Amino acid sequence: MRQSLQRWYREHGRDLPWRRTRDPYAIWVSEVMLQQTQVATVIPYFQRWMQTLPGIPALAAAPQQQVLKLWEGLGYYRRALNLHKAAQILMRERNGEFPRDLEQVLALPGIGRTTAGGILSAAFDQPLPILDGNVKRVLARLVALQQPPSQCLPLLWQLSQQLLDPVQPRAFNQALMDLGATVCRPKKPHCGRCPWQADCSAYNRGQHQQLPMSAPRASRPHKQIAVAIVLRGKEILIDRRLESSMLSGLWEFPGGKIEPGETAAECVVREVKEEIGIDIEVVAPLATVEHVYTHFTVTLIAFICRYLGGEAQALQCSEVRWVSPAELSEFPFPGANQKLFPHLHAWLAEHGNTFEHT
């Protein structure tokens, strides 16, 4: 099975930028970006990241805002913050050298067993197994697993270890990931192209379309958020989310959840006063946008608001700033807030970029 997979990989394996190097830093960045994100999406982000932050010293020294801006659009921003934090740890404790010891790698923020195995096998040819989503699917079909893979992780880890080629672990792990990504796909697998077809229990039982089984998914809760675009002259108010919050470190337009019995317009006036300490009034509705996060969905109801008075303070956020419309693109914003940008720029183009308070 190892030989047949390696033969298939030599002919059909993907040529990906992070596979052209043995640099553990580049491989680490790619492994983290590929968590929960498709390869085609990651490639331009990876290339831009490596051009801007080519090594551990550069990443460790970079401002957090630059790191988040480079990550903007990939989602799961905690991954970027953990990369940044881990690079600073490596500079402080190892003079910027990436460790070769599994336990030391696992001790770094944001690195779990499969990420560590992917880095150490690809960079140093260490015989360590991996178990990402593609590999779970291949192995679950291989043994015709009759339970969701998430409920059988010890078994799948054991199987990944048993199959691993101890002589060529780098190539084997990459081949196994490619097999899952391009042949053993979630829907309509290309079984006729699979080097393991004869060994696949799911195929031999006619279950390759039904497996792997899916764990039941909880329904996503929905949140309604009112958002204030507060204008003062030629400036717009933005605030930075608390480090302890979801999407920490990102910038946003102030606002919050609409309370029972409260209108969206009343909500933004209250939230801005509580978060930032200034008085505003609602001038006009701007837009309503929908956004889907992993565990919930959100509706943003945005209003153009006029600044009335008070000193902007970071009462329930980490930082506040007044910025020009052109400067908005310099700050990393969550995806939901970014959907408001075209509406805001269109409104400003129609009503003028100056909006004096009265």
CA distance 238 to 228: 9
**Exactly one of 11, 31, 252, 259 is catalytic; which is it?**
31
CB neighbour list of residue 145: distance below 8 Å, 6 or more residues apart: 139, 152, 155, 156, 211, 212, 213
Cis before 57 (ω within 30) = no
What would the DSSP string read from start to end of 266-279? Answer: HHHHHHHHHHH--E
In angstroms, how far is the first alpha carbon of the chain from the final one?
Answer: 76
Residue 45 token pair? 């982000």
In the residue annotation, 319 being an active-site residue is answered as no
β-sheet bridge partners, residue 303:
228, 285
Task: List helix spans (H) across the chain.
Answer: 2-12, 24-33, 39-52, 56-61, 64-71, 78-94, 102-106, 113-124, 133-142, 153-163, 169-178, 201-204, 264-276, 335-338, 341-351
The two structure tokens encoding residue 233:
């002259």
Cα–Cα distance for residue pair 247/79, rounded to 1 Å = 11
Tokens describing residue 67: 């790191």
Burial class (CB in 10 A: 0-12, 13-18, 19+), 222: exposed
Encode burial over 233-242: b for 16+ CB neighbours within 10 A, e otherwise: ebbbbbbbbe
Q: Residues 6 or more apart from 38 whose CB is under 8 A from it?
A: none
Give the residue numbers annotated as catalytic, written as ranges.
31
